[in-house]
Amino acid sequence: MDILVYALYIVAFAMFIIGLSGLTAPRSAVRGNKIAAAGMAIAFVATLIHIRETSSWLIIIAALVVGVIIGIPPARKVKMTAVPQLVALFNGVGGGTVALIAWGEFIESDGFTGLRVASGPVLPLVIASLFAAIIGSLSFWGSIVAFMKLQQILPGRPLSVGRLQQPLNAILFLGSVGAAAIVGIDSASTGADPVWFGTILVLAGILGVMTVLPIGGADMPVVISLLNALTGLSAAAAGLALNNIAMIVAGMIVGASGTILTNLMAKAMNRSILSIVAGGFGGGGATGVDSTNNGDQVAKSTSAADAAIKLAYANQVIVVPGYGLAVAQAQHAVKDMAKVLEARGVEVKYAIHPVAGRMPGHMNVLLAEADVSYDAMKETDDINGEFARTDVTIVIGANDVTNPAARTDPNSPIFGMPVLNVDQSRAVIVLKRSMSSGFAGIENPLFFGVNTTMLFGDAKKSVAQVTEELKAL
């Protein structure tokens, strides 16, 4: 019977890989996700076969029912603008599960002395369990803080204890690893004291909280990817400890995926992952300085009617969305405007920077929700050559990803970051609530450009007004 379980696990992880391969194109992606879900169902059935002689059916069924009841409603109802926090939350509970599994194993095996899953020395299994405990707890608490920041239960700006932050984090990390070492050594002889195991979970948890708190809103795409990678790796470690190949493969693939995304995001900001995790940089534009007058530079304000006239007589318009679009939930309004423009024969494209928004690909999902076609969304490298022959570029709630100082000013903190060359288009209309700076508190020379006009106000309202004016023309 165990051969059957093993075989089903192999079928399951093959389906995960086939399913994820489907995500390489939008057309095959829906089916890919369903294949992965079916693989999960098979792995689940295999596990139930494996534990068929258990006496705990009542608890298992009750827990599954509660999980389904809690899990489905938010997944079905969440607004697309709130997907980042939901993903953070789901990621957190996954990490929490891993930490609890390690804890459960610890209790079940009397402080790991009774760990006899495989023949031979148990030390590697103990190490895998302890790794799972540390990373699982860190990922759980880190994700919870990320969720609270994104949900604005906690402020999005960096919260830190200043210079003490790094030494404190180092102490927490060494402390949890030290407690794990004690548990590991004791498990070889008498069995470890549960207090030490609790110490691992608590210190790793505090480390998770202290690591994510000082990270600003704009760095969230990196943090969410990183936490995703960590949960995947901890799942793989738990799989090693439990000798479960489906968990090993699935966890490792998620770890690889999270690592790739973390790297891509960090590269798109021209910063190292380490410096982002060190935190204190990304303020998310929460505290803006009013600077409509920047020395002799003055930002020119415009009206919806003027903007509409410019747009109506353009050949090509590029829309550059940012987090502001998500906050104002302006995606449908933008699509309506694009429809009116397209009816007039104007070509409308969307330029999407990898770190626009709060998670990788955030803007793409919002625009897809508003029925913008996949082919109209362009990546930085594909569209940067087009700005020079674009009549009007509309920047909606994006700031730093359009900052030309990243190209031209070696003194700028974001110098070298790949940006959208919005300033090269013939006219730029920037939709913004006020003149606040972006996440790094950096002035954006784009706003004072000769071709640039500012349309102040709520993005959704501004776009709707422009659409009305367009219809009236």
Q: Which residues are catalytic?
A: 400
Contact status, residue 456 vs residue 430, Cβ threshold 8 Å: no
Q: 131 or 447: whose CB is closer to other proteins? A: 131
Q: 88 or 422: whose CB is closer to other proteins? A: 88
Shortest Cβ distance from residue 296 to other proteins (Å)? 39
Binders in 67-96 for other proteins, by CB under 8 A: 67-68, 70-72, 74-76, 78, 80, 83, 86-87, 90-91, 93-94, 96
**Sequence-separated (6 or more) residues with CB below 8 Å from residue 184:** 112, 123, 126, 127, 130, 192
Q: Let me know the angle formed at the C-alpha of 430 by 425 and 433, rounded to the nearest 5 degrees.
A: 170
Binders in 124-183 for other proteins, by CB under 8 A: 124-125
Binders in 213-242 for other proteins, by CB under 8 A: 224-225, 228, 231-232, 235-236, 238-240, 242
Binders in 5-24 for other proteins, by CB under 8 A: 13, 16-17, 19-21, 23-24
Shortest Cβ distance from residue 235 to other proteins (Å)? 5
Binders in 27-66 for other proteins, by CB under 8 A: 27, 29-30, 32-34, 36-37, 40, 43-44, 47-48, 50-51, 54-56, 59-60, 62-64, 66
**Amino acid of residue 225:** S
Q: What SS3 state is found at 459?
A: helix
Q: 235 or 440: whose CB is closer to other proteins? A: 235
The 328-367 site mask, x for binding other proteins (CB under 8 A), equals --------------x---------x-x----xxxx-xx--
Tell me: does residue 113 bind other proteins (CB under 8 A): no
Tell me: does residue 315 bind other proteins (CB under 8 A): no
CA dihedral 364, 370, 375, 380 (to 10 degrees): -40
Q: In whole angstroms, what is the distance from residue 178 CA to residue 56 CA?
A: 35
Q: In whole angstroms, what is the distance from residue 187 CA to residue 55 CA?
A: 27
Q: 83 or 394: whose CB is closer to other proteins? A: 83
Q: 119 or 189: whose CB is closer to other proteins? A: 119
Q: What SS3 state is found at 316?
A: strand
Q: In whole angstroms, what is the distance from residue 105 CA to residue 244 CA?
A: 14
Question: Which member of 154, 173, 191, 369 binds other proteins (CB under 8 A)?
Answer: 369
Q: Whole-angstrom distance between the N-terminal and C-terminal Cα of the chain?
A: 74
Buried b (16+ CB within 10 A) or exposed e, 67-101: eeeeeeeeeeeeeebbbbbbbbbbbbbbbbbbbeb
**Sequence-separated (6 or more) residues with CB below 8 Å from residue 373:** none
Q: In whole angstroms, what is the distance from residue 129 CA to residue 136 CA?
A: 10
Shortest Cβ distance from residue 68 to other proteins (Å)? 6
Q: 219 or 443: whose CB is closer to other proteins? A: 219
CA-based nearest residue to 144, from 16, 77, 62, 231: 231
Point out which span in 104-112, 166-174, 295-303, 429-437 binds other proteins (CB under 8 A): 104-112
Shortest Cβ distance from residue 166 to other proteins (Å)? 28
Shortest Cβ distance from residue 241 to other proteins (Å)? 8
Q: 364 or 399: whose CB is closer to other proteins? A: 364
Q: In whole angstroms, what is the distance from residue 135 CA to residue 399 CA?
A: 34
Tell me: does residue 379 bind other proteins (CB under 8 A): yes
Question: Which member of 111, 156, 208, 258 binds other proteins (CB under 8 A)?
Answer: 258
